[in-house]
Structure 1
Amino acid sequence: MAKNSEEPKFSLRLIVDEERNKVVLAEACRDFVDVLFSLLTLPMGTIVRLLENHRNSEPITVGCFNNLYKSVVDMGSDSFETEACKQMLLYPMSVRDVQSKRLKVNINPTESIKCFKCPSYCELYSNFNTSRCRCGNLMSKEIELEKKEQVAGWSQSDANGVFVSGRCSFILTDDLKVAVKSTELVLEKLKSVGCADVNKLGERLLVIGLEEVLTLLEYIFSSNAPLTDTFLNKQSPQGVTKICKSLSPCLEKKGEEAEPGKVVTLKAIVRKQDDIEILFVECGEEFVELLFSFLVVPLESVWEISGSSISLGCIGNLCRSFKELTANEGTELSNSICTLPSFYSFQMQLPGITTQQPPVYYRYRLYDNQIRYGLTTNGNRTPNYRKDRIVRADLMDAKSPGSDKSTQCYGFLKKETKFTVLDDLTITSMNSCSTISLLKKLQSHADDLEVKEISISNADALNLLRASLVTSSALSTAFWSLFAEKVKEETDLGDSVSKKVKEEET
C-alpha cells in the first residue's frame, strides 16, 4: 500500500522495559483508541482483503477465512443471483461505516450509500448500479440523495469521539487491555508486570499512521504481545491456523424457542478412521450462503455471538475493553447484538444476527429549471414547488434478478445449485469440478472413504463459525461430535438388540 506523506498520523507513547525489549504500557490519545476499536467493527471479509493487500508476498492467514474469501473471488458470476451479490460479499458493508468516516485514520474508507434508477423507468430505484430493471436495462443513472445535516446518535462536538467520549487519555497494556488513564491504574499495572522500578524503564514517542495500524491488525490475531511485536520486534506475523479438535457447544438453550433454528442436511465424505476427518461435503446453496455470511459479520460480533470464548491473540481483551468503555461512556455502540445492513438477508443465517429494515425513500423535484428528481428519507419534507408532491419510491433489492420489484429477497446464490466444501472451507461449484480430480488432489483411495449424512443445527453453525476463525480444518473441528453421537447411537442400538436376543434365547 502506497505511503502518503500527507496522511493523518497521531502519536503513541511507549513505556518500554529496555532489558527485555518489551512494551510495558502505552499511553494513547482518544483518536488512537477510536482507530484501535474500529478494527473490531470491520467485517471479516474486509479484514482478509486489507491484510492480503498489506502483505502481498506473505499475507497473514486467519483460520479458514482466506479460503472463504478466495472462494467468492474465484466463483463465477453465474452462480450468484446478481452481479451485486458477489460485490456485496467481496466488499462487505457495515452499519458502522458512517461512524468510521470520522476516524482520524480510517483503514477502510467507504463510499456513502447511493441510489440509481433505470433511464427509462422512473419509479424503480436501487442502491447498486449493477441492478437490472424489469425492462432489462441497467439501473445506471445516479439519483441525488438528500444529505442529512447530522447523523442520529452522535454530534460533531469535540467531546465526542467515534467510539469513546471525553477528552481523556488512555493506557494500553501489551496484550491490548484498554482503560482510561490514571496514576493509580498506571502504578497498579507496573506492579502487576514486575516493573515497579521505573528507573529501568524507557520512553519512546512514536508517530504512527495507516501502515502501523494495518500491522497492528495482523498481530491482534497472532500475538499475545501485539504492541511489542508491531513497534519493537517488527517480525512477520504468523497465520492463525491452530489445530483444535474440541469445541464445546456455545449456543444457550432457552426452553421453548419461538422459532426453531433451521436445519440443513449435508453429505460428508469421510475417511474410515477412529478419528473422524471430513475431506469435504456436498451441499446445496443454503449451506454455502451460511459460510459466506461469515464474511460480512464484524470481528467483534464473531467473538460475541460465538460465545465470547475464542482464545485467539488479543481479540478477547480488546473486545472486553471495547464493551466496558463504550458502556461506561453511554454511547449507542455498546449494543452487543450484531446488526447487518438491509442488503444482507441470507437463506440460512446465524442466530444472534439481525438485519436492518431497508430504507424508505421518497421522490421530490429538485429546485432548478430542469425536470429532475432527488430522493429523501423524510416523508414529511416540504416540496420545493407548490404543485409538487412527495411520492414514495420503490427500492429494489440488489439480490433481485429484475423480474420483479421485490423490496426484500433472501439468498445470494442461485437456487438448486450444488457445491463441494473442503475441510478448510474452500468452496467450488460441482458444475466446475470433477469428483475424480478432487479425490486425486486429496490423495484418497475409494476403499478408504464413506459417505455419511449429517444435519446441521444453529448450535453446529455457531461451532463452525468459531472453528473457522481458529483452525484450518473447520468442518472436522466443528462437526466431529455429530459423528461421535451417531456412532454412540448405533452402538447403543446394537447393544440393545444383542441384549434382547440373549433374553429371548434364555
Structure 2
Amino acid sequence: MSSAKDVKFSLKVTMNNQKTKVLFAEADSDFTDVLISFLTMPLGRIVRVLKKHFGEEEAVRIGSLTTLYNGLANLDSVHFWTKGCKEALLDPMSSFRNECLKLKLDVSDTQPIDQFTCYHSCCIPTSTKVLRTSNYFDSATCICGKTMSRVAGWKDTQAANNDGVFTRKKASFIISDDLKIFPNTTGFIQTLSTLEITDKDVGEPINVTFGFNEFMDLLKGSLLSPTPLSDIILNKRKVELGTTTPKTEPGVLLHAMEKEATSANSNKMILKVMVQKSTNKLLFAQSEEDFIDFLCILLAIPIGGVECLLGGNACLKNIDNLYKSVANINGDKYLVTQDMKNRLVKPKLLHGYISGNPILPLSEESCPRYQNIIAQKAVWFSSVKFVKGQGKYIGGPTLYKITDDLTVTHFCMGSILSHLKDRKIPSSDVKELELEIGLQEVIS
C-alpha cells in the first residue's frame, strides 16, 4: 500500500426520492471488513485516532471517555509504575492487530509488528515473527540466554486462503443508514421489510467513492449521529459537536455474564466520595491506586467488548446495530470462520492489559512461547513496561482525586481546599460517604 489515504472504495447507494436520506448502501467484503473493524478498536485508541485526525477541538467527546483519557495523559509519569505503562494505555493495542494490518484500509492506525533476531556468535542468525503481539513483547530472550535484537516493521499482508479479513471475499452486504449490516442475499421483499421502507420511497442508486477521510467521518458519526451515512454522502459532515452521553439502565447485565463472573463478582473496591450536604451534589471522589487501575483498563477494552458486557445495548445506536448484526450473521457462510465471529462478539483483550485482581469479567489472549523450528530455538518474551506485575499501571501507596466526569488527578489537599473556597463551600457543608464498588457498579 502506498498510503492509507490513497485507498478508495466504490459504494452503490440508494437514497429516497427526495434525495434527503440514504436508505441503504451495497458494499463488498473489503468495505464491510473496515466497518466491522470499528468493533475491534479499544476505547482509548478510538479517542487517540479521532484526536489525531480531527484535532483536539473537533474530536468526538463521548461522555467521560475523553476526559478520562485526557486526565491520564496529563497525569505525571511518576504516578505510573513505568513510562511504558502510560504509553501502553494511551495507545492501546487490539487483539485483532494482525487482522487490522491486512485490511485494505486500517482506520485504527495499527503499526507493523516487529521481529526478534539473535545475532550472538553461538547461534544461527534467524528471526522469529510474532503474528499476534502482546504488552509483554517488549524484549525477547533466546534459548542461548542472550537478549534478541528487535527488527521493526515486518508486516503480513497475505490473508489466509485468499479470503477476506472478517468476511468472505466474494460476499456482498447491505448497510443501512444506522449501520445495520446483513448479507445481500436476503431477497427483495425481506430487505425492504428489514429496512422498513416501501418501493415508493426508493430513488435511483448512485455510485459513491469512499476513502480514508470518509471512513474517519463514519467512525465519528457512528458515535454521534443517528444517520451517519446520510451525513457523509449528502455532505453533512459538520456533525454537531459536543458530548454524547450514553444513557444506560441501571443494572443492565447479561445473565450469562453474571454466571461466568462468580469469582470476579466477589472482588470489591472502596471509594470515598465527598458530597455537599446542602445540595446532595457529588464534589469529588478519592481513591487509592486500585480504582484508578480499573479506570485505566477501561481504555484497553474494545468497543465490541463493551457491547458484549452490556448485551448489545451500550446506547450508542449505530455501534449497537453493528454489533448485533455481526452477532446475528451466519458465521460459517458469510464470515471467514465461525471462530472469527466468536472472537468479534466476545473479544479478548491483548495479553497484559488485565490486572491481577479484576472485577470486570474480561478475558485476554494467552501469551505463547514461540518456537523457531528451523533453528531449534525457543524464545521467551518478557516486558519492561509491566515489570511490577500483570496489568499494573498506577503506583502507590498514594491518593488520587476523581471528578464526576472521571478526570483523574493526584490528590492535593491544598488545591481541594482552595477549590472549595472559590466555590464558597465551607468544609462543614461537606460529608464523606464510603461506597462499595463491585461488578454492577463497574458495569454501570
TM-score computed with the length of structure 2 as normaliser: 0.83
- Give me the identity figure in percent: 25
The one-letter amino acid of 2:177's match is D
Unaligned runs of 5+ in 1: 132-138, 361-376, 384-388, 402-407, 464-506
The one-letter amino acid of 1:357's match is S
The one-letter amino acid of 2:319's match is I
Unaligned runs of 5+ in 2: 123-134, 141-145
The one-letter amino acid of 2:101's match is K
Larger radius of gyration: 1
- Determine whether 1:16 maps to 2:20: no
Could you tell me how far apart the structure 1 residues matched to 2:245 and 2:379 are?
52
**Which residue number corresponds to residue 399 of structure 1?**
386
Could you tell me how far apart the structure 1 residues matched to 2:353 and 2:13 are?
41
The one-letter amino acid of 2:18's match is E
- Determine whether 1:155 maps to 2:154: no
- Determine whether 1:281 maps to 2:268: no
Deviation of residue 325 (structure 1)? 2.7
**Which residue number corresponds to residue 485 of structure 1?**
none
The CA RMSD measured in Å over matched residues stands at 3.6
Correspondence list, 1:17-32, <5 A: 17-19=16-18, 21-32=20-31
The one-letter amino acid of 2:223's match is F
Could you tell me how far apart the structure 2 residues matched to 1:443 and 1:241 are?
30
Deviation of residue 398 (structure 1)? 2.4
Range 16-25 or range 236-245, more displaced: 236-245
**Which residue number corresponds to residue 88 of structure 1?**
88
**Which residue number corresponds to residue 358 of structure 2?**
349
Deviation of residue 298 (structure 1)? 0.4
The one-letter amino acid of 1:427's match is V
Partner of residue 300 from structure 1, selected from 287, 300, 304 = 304
3-state SS, counterpart of residue 339 of structure 1: coil
Partner of residue 266 from structure 2, selected from 240, 261, 268 = 261
* Cα contact 1:71–1:428 (8 A) shared by 2: yes
Give the 3 Å change call, closer, same or farther, for CA 265–254 of structure 1 in structure 2: same
Deviation of residue 415 (structure 1)? 2.5
3-state SS, counterpart of residue 351 of structure 2: coil
**Which residue number corresponds to residue 138 of structure 2?**
128
**Which residue number corresponds to residue 413 of structure 1?**
394
Partner of residue 434 from structure 1, selected from 395, 415, 434 = 415
Give the 3 Å change call, closer, same or farther, for CA 255–214 of structure 1 in structure 2: closer
- Determine whether 1:55 maps to 2:54: yes
**Which residue number corresponds to residue 77 of structure 2?**
77
Give the 3 Å change call, closer, same or farther, for CA 393–38 of structure 1 in structure 2: closer
Could you tell me how far apart the structure 1 residues matched to 2:215 and 2:189 are?
24
* Cα contact 2:60–2:241 (8 A) shared by 1: yes
Deviation of residue 434 (structure 1)? 1.8
* Cα contact 2:401–2:411 (8 A) shared by 1: yes
Deviation of residue 427 (structure 1)? 0.3
Could you tell me how far apart the structure 2 residues matched to 1:444 and 1:185 are?
65
Could you tell me how far apart the structure 2 residues matched to 1:298 and 1:116 are?
28
TM-score computed with the length of structure 1 as normaliser: 0.73
* Cα contact 1:218–1:237 (8 A) shared by 2: no
- 1:429-457 residue CA offsets vs partner (Å, 9 max, x unmatched): 11597212343566644343211111101
Give the 3 Å change call, closer, same or farther, for CA 278–5 of structure 1 in structure 2: closer
The one-letter amino acid of 1:51's match is L
* Cα contact 1:340–1:353 (8 A) shared by 2: yes
- 1:394-429 residue CA offsets vs partner (Å, 9 max, x unmatched): 62452116xxxxxx5341111312100000000001
**Which residue number corresponds to residue 142 of structure 1?**
149
3-state SS, counterpart of residue 296 of structure 1: coil
**Which residue number corresponds to residue 36 of structure 1?**
35
Deviation of residue 347 (structure 1)? 4.6
**Which residue number corresponds to residue 451 of structure 1?**
432
Give the 3 Å change call, closer, same or farther, for CA 143–269 of structure 1 in structure 2: same
* Cα contact 1:350–1:462 (8 A) shared by 2: no
Could you tell me how far apart the structure 2 residues matched to 1:295 and 1:311 are?
18
Give the 3 Å change call, closer, same or farther, for CA 322–437 of structure 1 in structure 2: farther
Correspondence list, 1:242-257, <5 A: 242=245, 244=247, 247-250=250-253, 252=255, 253-254=258-259, 257=262
Correspondence list, 1:105-116, <5 A: 105-114=105-114
* Cα contact 1:286–1:347 (8 A) shared by 2: no
The one-letter amino acid of 1:218's match is K
**Which residue number corresponds to residue 195 of structure 1?**
198
Give the 3 Å change call, closer, same or farther, for CA 191–396 of structure 1 in structure 2: closer
Could you tell me how far apart the structure 2 residues matched to 1:146 and 1:60 are?
30
The one-letter amino acid of 2:40's match is T
Could you tell me how far apart the structure 2 residues matched to 1:246 and 1:50 are?
29
* Cα contact 2:251–2:440 (8 A) shared by 1: no
Give the 3 Å change call, closer, same or farther, for CA 265–219 of structure 1 in structure 2: same
Give the 3 Å change call, closer, same or farther, for CA 268–118 of structure 1 in structure 2: farther
Deviation of residue 344 (structure 1)? 1.0
The one-letter amino acid of 1:142's match is S
Deviation of residue 73 (structure 1)? 1.2
The one-letter amino acid of 1:208's match is F
Q: Specify which structure has the bigger relative contact order, considering alpha-carbon pairs within 8 angstroms and separated by 6 or more residues.
A: 2
Deviation of residue 324 (structure 1)? 2.3
Give the 3 Å change call, closer, same or farther, for CA 229–399 of structure 1 in structure 2: same
Correspondence list, 1:345-384, <5 A: 345-360=354-369, 377-378=370-371, 381-383=373-375
Could you tell me how far apart the structure 1 residues matched to 2:330 and 2:98 are?
17
Could you tell me how far apart the structure 2 residues matched to 1:70 and 1:235 are?
24
- 1:177-218 residue CA offsets vs partner (Å, 9 max, x unmatched): 1111137246642795343126x5132211111110010111
Range 185-194 or range 55-64, more displaced: 185-194
**Which residue number corresponds to residue 136 of structure 1?**
none
- 1:229-269 residue CA offsets vs partner (Å, 9 max, x unmatched): 22213232444433858523526454993565310101101
3-state SS, counterpart of residue 289 of structure 1: helix
